[in-house]
Each structure stands twice: as C-alpha cells, then as structure tokens.
Amino acid sequence: MNNMNQPENENTPANVERYIVEQQSWIAEAAKIVGGPEATPESVFLKPPEVRSDSLALDLTEEQEQSLREVAGRFGLGGERDVLSLADLDVIEGGKPWKVAAEAAISNPTAAKIFAGSPFREIGQEETAFMQESYGLTVDGAMTEYDMVKHIASQSEGFVPLEEEEVLPFGYDIDNGFELVEEQTKQLVKLGAVQHEDGSETDVIVLRVDRRNLDIVDGRQQYSNQPDSAAIMGIVSDVLSAHGDDESSVGMVTSSTYPSRAIDAVRAGLSKGREFRTGMYGRGTLADIKGEPVAAPTDINQIPGELYVLNEKLAQLSEEFSKK
C-alpha cells in the first residue's frame, strides 16, 4: 500500500511490527505535548463523543498546538490533498453528509461503491440544510444517517436506479462477531449502478450499520456491538468470498480527520488475508463540497479524540498481530 499511514506491505510481519512501534511512539510524543513530560496517551487522550465536534476544548499554547498538529500530520490527519484507495470495491464511510459526499467524490472503484450508514443516528439541522441546499431534498421530520447516505448514493453521476431495490442475500450477525449470514437481512441493498462511457458498470449498494442500543446516560445513547471499520471491511470481504472472489481489493474511504481507519485496513488484512486499502479526502475536496473558499484545518479539539482512537486501534492491531 502507498497510503502514508499504512505499512508498505501489511502482510510482511517485520513491516507491521515496525509500523506499530513507530506509530505508538508518535502517539506517546503527542501525549507529552498536551500533558507534560510524564503524560501517557491513556491519561491525556480520552474517549471522544460519537460526534467528534462535541469534544471538550483544549487549552494549549500556540507552540503546543503547532507541535500537536505536526505529530498528527504524520498520520495524515488533516491533510489537504486526497489519498485515493484505488481499490476494486470502496466502502463509503457514513457520517455528516458533506463528509459522505466528499468520500464519494474521490472514490472510483471498478466493481462497487458501498455506502455505509447508521439507522440509529438522526441528522441535525445543519446536515438537513446541507441536503436541501446541495441536493434539493426537503426533509419532513426526522431523517437518519442511513436514509441520508441512500439519497447521496442515488445522486452519483451516471447512476441508473433499479426498478426495484434488490435486497442482497447476505448480512451479518452483530451478536456473533459480525459473522456472515447468507440470507436477506436487509443489511445490504443494491440501489442500481453507475454506468460508464465505456459500457462498464459500478454497482451502488448501501450497507446498514447495525448495533445494540443500551441505556441513555447523561443524555447520550449508549450502544454496543456496532461493527467498526475493520469489521465492515471484513463483512464485505466475506460477501466477496461467498461469491468465490478472494482476489478483489476492498477500500475504506474516509476523511483525513480519521486516519485510524488505515489501521483498521491492516487489521482486516491480518484477519481475512485480502488486500485492504484506505482512501482519505483532503481539506481541499471538503471545501469544494461545502462551497467554502478556504480549506480550513482540522479543529484542534478533534485531534485528541482521533489520537485516542489511533492508540486503541494500534493496541488491537498489536494484540491481533501477536496471535498470528
């Protein structure tokens, strides 16, 4: 892989080991920038809220902020330029609609675009306004992230819808390690295909990101058993394998705000023995999608949350790698 936050060859043990050690050292360096010489990642970088922009504000000097951004930039966090996955199939990660639209804009797989979205998160007023302004969609009442990504998927250039959506005969079991289920669970639905000038087609599919809702604590919905990026890539890989395809590469397209997805690609590769890649849109593409003249840098308050996730993902990768 040629993405800046991935080892040159994730299937080579020596490269993966160097990758883990180097990235953990970067996170340790970032922790000391924020919390002082004795700080550890675990003491400084706390679990972020579901919506990263809701993170608590940092109190940093200008020098600390510059140093933290420099370390974060080594992971690709907040990059201005796009990093393409160049995979055979791309998973378009859910989130805010401008994020989904930017991911779709840089994705150009040959076989399929798979738009992932949660049916449990209702989009906010700012997101609703974006959908109306960008897509002319009037939202009456609540709209979920899943419904939003379906609409964006259907607006892909060259998209031709099926007369009737096709529920694919595959799904996954959230109570059994996201194991493949070979029946129509409605977790994977084909909407149609993008038709290209050369006569080829790229399937457009939506993937419902399920979870188990728990209690509401301090006004926030708690949940469990939701597949992370590695699990979602694994689910797509299992569907391909069930079709007898063990060769096609699978990409996860995300924001440069979330370079931890690259670690998930390495984890998925260790688990499934398939080539996984990561694509990340840059700040320039996001500015174009939002109609903003300047590509604003990543909010400094979002960086610690992503470093927390990077640290957690590296720990998972390290544990999984040690068992190989």
**pLDDT 10s digits, 276-287:** 999 999 989 999
- Confidence band, pLDDT 50/70/90 cuts, at residue 314: very high
Asked if the model's pLDDT at residue 56 lies above 70, the reply is no
CA angle 253, 283, 136 (to 5 degrees): 75
Q: How large is the average pLDDT for residues 48-73? A: 81
CA angle 20, 22, 23 (to 5 degrees): 65
Asked if the model's pLDDT at residue 1 lies above 50, the reply is no
Q: How would DSSP label each residue in 29-90?
A: HHHHHHH-TT--HHHH-PPPPSSGGGSPPP---HHHHHHHHHHHHHTTTT-SS-B----SEE
Beta strands 112-117; 89-92: pairing state? parallel
- Confidence band, pLDDT 50/70/90 cuts, at residue 53: low
pLDDT > 90: what percent of the chain? 78
* pLDDT value of position 2: 40
* pLDDT value of position 20: 94
Give 3's Cβ-side CA count (13 Å radius).
Answer: 33
